[in-house]
Structure 1
Amino acid sequence: MERGGVRDRTIRDVQRKVVPKHFPQSKMQGEKSKHVQDSAAHRLLPHHSSTQPKQTDLYILPSYSDILFNNFQSLREEELLLDFSLCIQGKTFRSHGLVLATASECPHLFFGVKPIFGLGMKEIPDFLTPLGFGAVLEFAYYGHVALSHLEEGETVGVLNACEYLQKDRLRKGLTQRVTTSASKEKDKSLALIKDMWDKGLGCDIIIQADTGERYSAHRVVLAAGGDYFRALLCGGMRESREDTVCLRGLSSWVIEAVVGFFYTGQLGLSWARVWELTDALHQFQLKGALSLCTDFLQGGMDESTCLDVLVLAETFGLVQLGQAAEEYVLTHFRLVSAEEKFKDIPFVLLDRLLDKDSLCVDREIVVFRAVVSWVEEEPKERHPFLSSLLSHVRLPLFTSSEVQEALRWKLLYRSSKTRATLETLQRLAKGEKVGSGRKPRSPNQVLVLVGGDAVDDDFMKRVPSRSLWYAQQFHRGPGLMRNIEWKLLTKIPEPPRFRHAVCLFNNKLYILGGRKYYGSLDVLKSAARLDLTQWKWEQLPDMLCPRDYFAAVCLDAKVFVLGGNYDDSQYTDDVQFYSPEENTWRSARPLAAAVCGHAAAVLDGQIYVSGGCDSYHHCSSLLWTYHPSRGCFPRSPMSVGGGRAGHVMLAVGGRLVVAGGVQPLRVGFGDQLLCEVYDPACDSWSSFPALPRPHLSPGGTVMDGRLYVVGGSSANTARDTKWVHCYDPKKECWENLGAMPHPYTDLAVCALPLPNTTR
């Protein structure tokens, strides 16, 4: 299959509004052409031009014959282009001769210089009844005849009509009880129409190109094929009375392809020809043929063509194609922005793309470099757009070396409008904290389950998991019935993990610590990372000590692990951080106390740590803010119960929600269903809707502004929890979305961009 980008339309053409607009025009010829029912003359008209582009793939519109014959019926009901009239026993039948001919094995009887049947037909045999002819006509247009209500004598009338008009297909169906579907009969009729077209039989109009090529056709087929030709030939315009119509501004091969589609429902498509064809089909309002072009464009996009497809879709208002093209550009932005064609993208489109959270890049510097390459293509013309484009670059996600790279760009120093960007980069270069623009991009997110353990199918033992499952679709049944369709995404490298932690940074998923089995020596210090742009696993250096039931967060381009269980007998206050730039683990200031089963989250550039159990198994209600060099600072403690552990804490809408886990009872621990929310501006807690089911050591994440609490177990019943609960802020309640593929506990959950290969 050829790949060549836009030929007559480029991104630059659209930007500068010089796209050639092939609006179909018609023109009367100077002399009225000879009436074209002379089939001998039509055989001289070429149906296959030598200028037609080669190396094409054939695309077929399903059920095209049904569509075409439905339009024939519409034309007949509106009494348009009727050229066949017959009066039988005082009842007049009017139809299209071409359609009536398709039901006959001898279609030439209805055409020619002196057709046997046609307008003004005189001697009608007595055995040809209105009922019999009406049945033939119904078969011609609909592909079937309702005969169940006919009596025997009436059936004979239909058979007589079939014999007289040589309608063998209908006659065989009646006498031999050979039944086929109406759609198959229409397929056969369409093949007969194409055969008549190939032979020039019954053609009554010529379509002419600017260069003189002429293509014969049937008016009724063109009118049934598309709204443009219907208006042209049935709307009372001058062309409706002419035998030749000239279409200006169209290549001869385009006209040939369009006319050929009318008779076959097929298009030969390649990257060399699809652009001009799409333009013509859009102007002709041929939705069926246009859908074939959009299927071709959508299915064959790559880095060199997706921008062209996106511009074309937006030019013609092809919404579905535009959405697919934009998703492709966003998903493959690194490769797309490296293409030469990227430099011609219109500002309005580039400005919109850079603002998307779903822009998929492994590092934010890629976005900055894309802005640089675009502006430097035409510095004088594009410099006024620079500040707007730079406002979409999330500078705090840069590494120190990337900050220095950006500061070396000279255009930053040439305008007062870029001063804010320059000042931000200079502050980052000094190591200062910059609070705005920190949100990592999160393209095409889906809910993903990572690891955990569950009871095996025989209910004999617990089995740790290596699986990453994602929720492919959420289904709603009657009443409260809910179901989730899960699909396996990938597997964690050995060993399996549960009681581990995960976090996301710069389109990489970090999987940290946990345990591989249930012994005191099975606690892990290993770490792995999944590159979400290349979908490849990387083994990272080990943490400085093993840990499970701990918390992990990402802040200031570092991955932090906080506290946890060391060996089933020792809890730790240790905090470490991993620097992706240096590929090393280092120690940070410890927590205020050794803790296990706590939760952590980042809000407004600060790490918050809540709850957990201390070394004496006391359940804590404390909330801290943590700074890597200064340690912990107490905030207002949680207010529900006497403490909380084995829970999740999620940041959403500028607040922190704690949900799930256990609370201390007079003897032991019990499930905690009550939730609460912390407002850092007021340093206070308030009530939050309670969970409908217990979730001890669940997974939790935020996706599209909704909170998800998944799996875990119940302290009261010692049973695993298989449910996925979601809190929607608009509904202000928790909703049970359905069950996990297995009732996992001690799992991790996150929202990941779905890789293109799984869509």
Structure 2
Amino acid sequence: MERRGVRDRKSKTDIADASQKRTTKTLPRNQKRGVDTESKPGSKAPFHYKDSGFFSYVLPSHSNTIFAHLHRFRMEELLVDCTFPLQGNAFRAHRLVLAASSQTPAAVLGTGVEEMANCLTPVGLRAVLEFAYCGDVTMDLSEDSVMEEVLDACQCLHMERLRERCMSKITTSPTTQRDKSLAVIKDMWDRGVGCDIAIKAETGETHSAHRVVLAAGGDYFRALLCGGLRESSEDVVCLRGVPSWVIESILCFIYTGQLRLGWTRIWELTDALVQFQLEGALSLCMDFLRDRMDEGSCLDVLVLAETYGLVQLGQAAEEYILAHFQSISAGEKFKDVPCPLLERLLEKDSLCVEIRIPLLSYSELQEALSCSLLHRSPRAKGTLEALQSLMEGNYRGPECQPRTPNQVLVLVGGDTVDDDFRKRVPSQTLWFAQQFHRGSGLIRSIEWKAFTKIPELPRLRHCVCLLNNKLYVLGGRRYYGALDILKSALPDMLCQRDYFSAVSLDGKVFALGGNHDDRQYLDAVEYYSPEENTWRSHPLDTAVCGHAAAVLDGQIYISGGCDSHRRCLPSMWNYHPTRGCFPRSAMTAGAGRAGHVMLALGTGLVVAGGLQPLWMGFGDQLLCELYDPTHDSWSPFPALPRPHVSPGATVLDGRLYVVGGFSANTAMDSKWVHCYDPKEERWEKLGAMPHPYTDLAACSLPLPDLHDLH
């Protein structure tokens, strides 16, 4: 899988080289730009990483962020530098933004741009400003008079792209238009056109920039240039203690959304990005650290994350250390790990080690007791006592237990064709995967074991949720009639529903949308609180059925599904129990998706399986997508090898499992289990289910608790 933002390191345009042309004072010839010999955090000597190259990381839709800030500046009249007086109103704007959407930027940047107001009307100018700042025109252009005024404004200000937008029936997306405008601004920056401020490094090098773009790039520069400070009126701003190459990297990111990252510069650059509050650029550094982390760098990444409060990066580093603890602990740098951190790691259940104290042999116990460090540390008193009691044969401490729960893949309900191929039979059985077998070549199989049944009725098109180590089976239907749709749970939901989605969050179970009676889709969310033992209802912004939902970082996300007109949706929503739904960027693979699954993977959400609308009817959707909530963007994800419409899905040990369902193209049920391993970056067919179930649910459960069902 191509990771988000990673591009070929041999790009045609080297941003660092382009930036070097703007530096008015060059570095010494024997000093390589952007490369230093600093030590890693916490190390005593320079460390050479295995991967010492540089890689380009790009932030998707960076232009959207820049132009959103520019638009806000115009609304608040910050840093505006031109005024169009029209019919008693004063329209204020930024020359640079207008120039970015014009065919002749130099003419718009000229001092006489206000004189062009003579050939403009308020309607035409509003269209120009909306296009320049937002990349689109929302006003109704169907009236001839409106169209004429807008086209006159295009001719006056040389807005060829806006003219094409008005005349063409095929419109380019606003994001694409903003990308083009930012590229024009970057070109002007490369050539030094319109630059009105210089950033000075500690060593004296200066780098030119546009004041309004710099302010739009981040909170620090916005406060510096718009907050009434002394620097807001100065032409040269000095950033003390910041090397020239760091300033170059920051400016390159602001103008392009791109960073070139390597181990020799990542530490100092991350420190600067935290200082200057450049969240987008900082996220690229964290992507680099997660992507390139190895046994030589993981400890430093953890220290960096804890120093700056980068929670997700710290979790990733800690998980890596715990998984590779055996080899990391044998390294020289492990000696520098602080005792509190070491204690915290040793207490983790996911620590992967071959030996624990109760399993030490007599000679190993003697060797451990001879360690002078244990005798010098007051914190090691308990460990010494445990070692001594083991030597004497009177150990009374806890026995060794598995460090990680024995999680298993579980199938719940669904329906399948009976043995005579005469009718479909809903299932009441819960199966768990007892063992995965790997045969010769590509042959895989799964050993399944039935362990219990759903109480009372079989289920299909239902949902399951795990809350407080209890499995909740919600809604669905027992057979295929409109009266067979269920609302049963513990206690019953407020209304019956199937083809819905359910998640657990903050100690509650949420049931979202779904089909009510084969004629009406639901625009309501119900949530269940075990403490109150009751369901309560909240509105959902739209009625939806066949959608998917997942929780990531304490937020509920809803993707796709069909609306009340049976239209397949590409939408993505962020749902808050009290504030309602907030639209996010739509999915990009196909015109919509329903009957699919959505699963959390790392810091993103993977959408997989389901069907998509075609010219006539619906077809299988094999393409998958990865959603990044931080940047509100989608990126490609390895496609499924086989169709899975209305499957079950779960996450187990960091891997994604998609099971069963059917094919929209052939109407055949699927019996296959596919697994995505992030390390292998591909889907693998693990084998078949006990029966080719569709409309089923799947989850992962700790084996000792499988009997605890509700």
345, 348, 351: which one aligns with 1:353: 345
For the pair 1:116 / 2:112, whether they are aligned, the reply is yes
146, 171, 174: which one aligns with 2:166: 174
Q: Deviations over 1:576-623 (max 9, x none)?
A: xxxxxxxxxxxxxxxxxxxxxxxxxxxxxxxxxxxxxxxxxxxxxxxx
Aligned equivalents of 2:702, 2:364: Cα separation in 1: 27
**Contact residue 436 and residue 445 of structure 2 kept, 8 A:** no
Aligned equivalents of 2:307, 2:385: Cα separation in 1: 39
For the pair 1:426 / 2:388, whether they are aligned, the reply is yes
Aligned residue number for residue 82 of structure 1: 80
- 1:384-463 aligned within 5 A: 395-412=357-374, 420-432=382-394, 434-443=395-404, 446-447=407-408, 459=419
TM-score using structure 1 length = 0.51
Aligned equivalents of 2:309, 2:428: Cα separation in 1: 36
User: Taking structure 1 as reference, are residues 731 and 334 closer, same or farther at Cα in structure 2, changes over 3 Å only?
Assistant: farther
Aligned residue number for residue 68 of structure 1: 66
SS of equivalent residue, structure 2 residue 199 = strand
Aligned equivalents of 1:750, 1:731: Cα separation in 2: 19
For the pair 1:133 / 2:125, whether they are aligned, the reply is yes
Q: Deviations over 1:446-483 (max 9, x none)?
A: 32589xxxxx99959xxxxxxxxxxxxxxxxxxxx999
**Contact residue 360 and residue 443 of structure 1 kept, 8 A:** no
**Contact residue 47 and residue 215 of structure 1 kept, 8 A:** no
334, 347, 364: which one aligns with 1:342: 334
CA positional deviation for 1:288: 0.6
Please identify, of 399-408 and 329-338, the stretch whose mean Cα deviation from structure 2 is larger: 399-408
Q: Deviations over 1:74-110 (max 9, x none)?
A: 1111111001111123221101110011111100013
**Contact residue 23 and residue 206 of structure 2 kept, 8 A:** no
**Contact residue 142 and residue 186 of structure 1 kept, 8 A:** yes
Structure 1, unpaired ranges of 5+: 1-41, 365-394, 451-455, 461-480, 501-645, 648-659, 661-672, 674-690, 695-702, 710-724, 753-759
For the pair 1:163 / 2:109, whether they are aligned, the reply is no
For the pair 1:295 / 2:256, whether they are aligned, the reply is no
Aligned equivalents of 2:101, 2:172: Cα separation in 1: 14
CA positional deviation for 1:252: 0.7
Aligned equivalents of 1:304, 1:178: Cα separation in 2: 52
Q: Deviations over 1:389-411 (max 9, x none)?
A: xxxxxx32334443233233345
**Contact residue 484 and residue 737 of structure 1 kept, 8 A:** no
Aligned equivalents of 2:276, 2:429: Cα separation in 1: 45
Aligned residue number for residue 664 of structure 2: none
CA positional deviation for 1:169: 0.8
Q: Deviations over 1:647-694 (max 9, x none)?
A: 9xxxxxxxxxxxx7xxxxxxxxxxxx9xxxxxxxxxxxxxxxxx9489
Q: Deviations over 1:550-574 (max 9, x none)?
A: xxxxxxxxxxxxxxxxxxxxxxxxx
Aligned equivalents of 2:428, 2:145: Cα separation in 1: 59
SS of equivalent residue, structure 2 residue 264 = coil
- 1:20-99 aligned within 5 A: 45=24, 51-53=33-35, 55-99=53-97
**Contact residue 397 and residue 440 of structure 1 kept, 8 A:** no
Aligned equivalents of 1:331, 1:704: Cα separation in 2: 27
Q: Deviations over 1:24-46 (max 9, x none)?
A: xxxxxxxxxxxxxxxxxx96747
SS of equivalent residue, structure 2 residue 138 = coil
Question: How many residues get paired?
Answer: 435
Aligned equivalents of 1:487, 1:257: Cα separation in 2: 50
**Contact residue 203 and residue 217 of structure 1 kept, 8 A:** yes
Aligned residue number for residue 98 of structure 2: 100
SS of equivalent residue, structure 2 residue 145 = helix
Aligned equivalents of 1:107, 1:233: Cα separation in 2: 24
Aligned residue number for residue 651 of structure 1: none
Aligned equivalents of 1:416, 1:346: Cα separation in 2: 14
Query: What code does the residue aligned with 1:190 have?
Result: L
**Contact residue 58 and residue 268 of structure 1 kept, 8 A:** yes
Aligned equivalents of 1:194, 1:499: Cα separation in 2: 59
User: Taking structure 1 as reference, are residues 423 and 162 closer, same or farther at Cα in structure 2, changes over 3 Å only?
Assistant: closer
Aligned equivalents of 2:193, 2:299: Cα separation in 1: 45
Aligned equivalents of 2:117, 2:80: Cα separation in 1: 20
196, 202, 217: which one aligns with 1:204: 196
Aligned equivalents of 2:26, 2:177: Cα separation in 1: 26
Aligned equivalents of 2:59, 2:332: Cα separation in 1: 35
SS of equivalent residue, structure 2 residue 120 = coil
**Contact residue 102 and residue 158 of structure 2 kept, 8 A:** yes
Aligned equivalents of 2:434, 2:136: Cα separation in 1: 48
Q: Quote the RMSD (CA, aligned, Å).
A: 4.4
Aligned equivalents of 2:122, 2:76: Cα separation in 1: 21
Aligned equivalents of 1:485, 1:183: Cα separation in 2: 47
Aligned residue number for residue 535 of structure 1: none
260, 264, 267: which one aligns with 1:268: 260
CA positional deviation for 1:445: 5.8
User: Taking structure 1 as reference, are residues 188 and 436 closer, same or farther at Cα in structure 2, changes over 3 Å only?
Assistant: same
**Contact residue 200 and residue 207 of structure 2 kept, 8 A:** yes
Aligned equivalents of 2:107, 2:406: Cα separation in 1: 64
Query: What code does the residue aligned with 1:213 have?
Result: E
User: Taking structure 1 as reference, are residues 134 and 50 closer, same or farther at Cα in structure 2, changes over 3 Å only?
Assistant: farther
User: Taking structure 1 as reference, are residues 140 and 318 closer, same or farther at Cα in structure 2, changes over 3 Å only?
Assistant: same
Query: What code does the residue aligned with 1:52 have?
Result: G
CA positional deviation for 1:310: 0.7
**Contact residue 84 and residue 92 of structure 2 kept, 8 A:** yes
Aligned residue number for residue 247 of structure 1: 239
Structure number with bigger Rg: 1
SS of equivalent residue, structure 1 residue 273 = helix
User: Taking structure 1 as reference, are residues 305 and 414 closer, same or farther at Cα in structure 2, changes over 3 Å only?
Assistant: closer
**Contact residue 436 and residue 447 of structure 2 kept, 8 A:** no
Aligned equivalents of 2:309, 2:173: Cα separation in 1: 37
**Contact residue 23 and residue 207 of structure 2 kept, 8 A:** no
CA positional deviation for 1:438: 2.0
**Contact residue 483 and residue 737 of structure 1 kept, 8 A:** no
For the pair 1:280 / 2:272, whether they are aligned, the reply is yes
Query: What code does the residue aligned with 2:103 have?
Result: E
**Contact residue 328 and residue 334 of structure 2 kept, 8 A:** yes
